[in-house]
Amino acid sequence: MIGIDWGTSSFRAWRRDAAGVIRARVDDGPGILEVPAGGFAAALDAAIGPWLDVEAGPVLLCGMVGSRQGWVEAPYLPCPAGPAEIAAALTPIPHRGARLLLVPGLRATDAAGLPDVMRGEETKLIGLLAETDAASGLACLPGTHTKWARIGGGRVLGFATQMTGEVRATLLEHSILGRLAAADAPGSDAAFLRGLQRARQAGGLLHHLFGTRALGLTGALPEDETESYLSGLLIGHEVAAVLAEGAPEGPVHLAGAPALCRRYALALDAFGLAHRLHDPDLALHGLALIARRLTA
């Protein structure tokens, strides 16, 4: 089979044999925003055309390629959902005889009845479900839009998205806080933990954010520590918001880019929460599990 995780700014693909061995992979293809209108077929051929010439099995695609801005829009599947429900809701994409199948994103509602959505992360969660035998649990997938998902009974029960990564980038690039931060400064664990500690104090996020500027102006926060402090502040408020809905019974399952997962692990430690790190290639494992349902 071929598995493809095609996001807004990234393209990753794997060719896996029947024994589960990865025979080839691509990690540097164009994200969907780099593909011109009507150019998805050509972009796919440019990235993995030779694979398609010889692969007889399914080609599963997940991520923003299935969004309104992508190749074909795939409807969101409501939670709870597991491999069986997702496999039954795949959207075919005609492409020169290959068996291209688009994985649907997931849709959930919060306690107030408002919607939340994900695309691509559902395959990581399916892969994670296969790695844990917990009856229930909480998963954290750090990223630009971090997903916190409740899992149990072999299904994704619900989730909540936190825009922490995008807010951090916006503050550093387009707000006055960014003018106080040194460009390309190395990360500082001490400053990150200081931000986490501040997030657990009274005052609220908006007050704490302005406090970052005040600390810098008075010399209490060096320029090369501003980014780390701000990240700790934002992630700390994020974790506190998740805990407000109830602490998990077991460890928080972490999966994502190693550097970002490390920061979330520090935050979970600071809040006294156990955690377990998982393979960052969970998307491939999830796609393989979905593909297996097609031949079961």
Higher pLDDT, 246 or 42: 42
CB 130 within 8 A of CB 117: no
- Tell me, yes or no, whether 210 lies in a domain: no
The C-alpha atoms of residue 87 and residue 5 are separated, in whole angstroms, by 16
- pLDDT tens digits, one per residue of 135-148: 679 999 999 999 99
Buried b (16+ CB within 10 A) or exposed e, 19-57: eeeeeeeeeebebbeebeeeebeebbbebbeebbeeeeb
| Residue-number span of the structural domain to which 92 is assigned | 2-131+283-295
The C-alpha atoms of residue 8 and residue 241 are separated, in whole angstroms, by 27
- Tell me, yes or no, whether 100 lies in a domain: yes
Give the 3-state secondary structure of residue 277: strand
Tell me the residue type at 163: M
pLDDT at 10 over 60: yes
Average pLDDT of the chain is 94
pLDDT at 294: 86
- Tell me, yes or no, whether 240 lies in a domain: no
What Cα–Cα distance (Å) separates residue 281 from each residue in 3, 39, 249, 257, 288? 11, 27, 25, 9, 11
pLDDT confidence tier of residue 270, bands split at 50, 70 and 90: very high
* CB count in 10 Å sphere of residue 9: 11
The C-alpha atoms of residue 272 and residue 146 are separated, in whole angstroms, by 20
pLDDT at 279: 86
pLDDT at 34: 95
- Tell me, yes or no, whether 67 lies in a domain: yes
* Token pair of 244 as six digits: 């407000």
pLDDT at 134: 62
The C-alpha atoms of residue 209 and residue 233 are separated, in whole angstroms, by 8
The C-alpha atoms of residue 231 and residue 90 are separated, in whole angstroms, by 37
pLDDT at 130: 85
The C-alpha atoms of residue 91 and residue 273 are separated, in whole angstroms, by 39
pLDDT at 55: 85
Number of domains in the chain: 1
- Tell me, yes or no, whether 226 lies in a domain: no
pLDDT at 36 over 70: yes
- pLDDT tens digits, one per residue of 191-234: 999 999 999 999 999 999 999 999 999 999 999 999 999 999 99
Dihedral of the CA atoms 39, 44, 46, 51 (nearest 10)? -160
pLDDT at 46 over 90: yes
- Tell me, yes or no, whether 68 lies in a domain: yes
Paired strand residues for 192:
none
The C-alpha atoms of residue 123 and residue 259 are separated, in whole angstroms, by 21
Q: How many angstroms from the chain centroid is the CA of residue 193?
A: 23
pLDDT at 251: 94
pLDDT at 184: 85
- pLDDT tens digits, one per residue of 66-96: 999 999 999 999 999 999 999 999 999 999 8
The C-alpha atoms of residue 221 and residue 54 are separated, in whole angstroms, by 57
Cβ neighbours of residue 96 closer than 8 Å, sequence gap 6 or more:
41, 52
Give the 3-state secondary structure of residue 202: coil
Buried b (16+ CB within 10 A) or exposed e, 171-204: bbeeeebbebbeeeeeebeebbbbbbebbeeeee
pLDDT mean over 139-166: 95
- Tell me, yes or no, whether 120 lies in a domain: yes
pLDDT at 135: 66
pLDDT mean over 149-169: 95
Domain of 69, CATH number, reads 3.30.420.300
User: Which of 89, 84, 106 minimizes the C-alpha distance to 154?
Assistant: 84
- pLDDT tens digits, one per residue of 235-257: 999 999 999 988 888 899 999 98
pLDDT at 18 over 90: no
pLDDT confidence tier of residue 264, bands split at 50, 70 and 90: very high
pLDDT at 281: 79
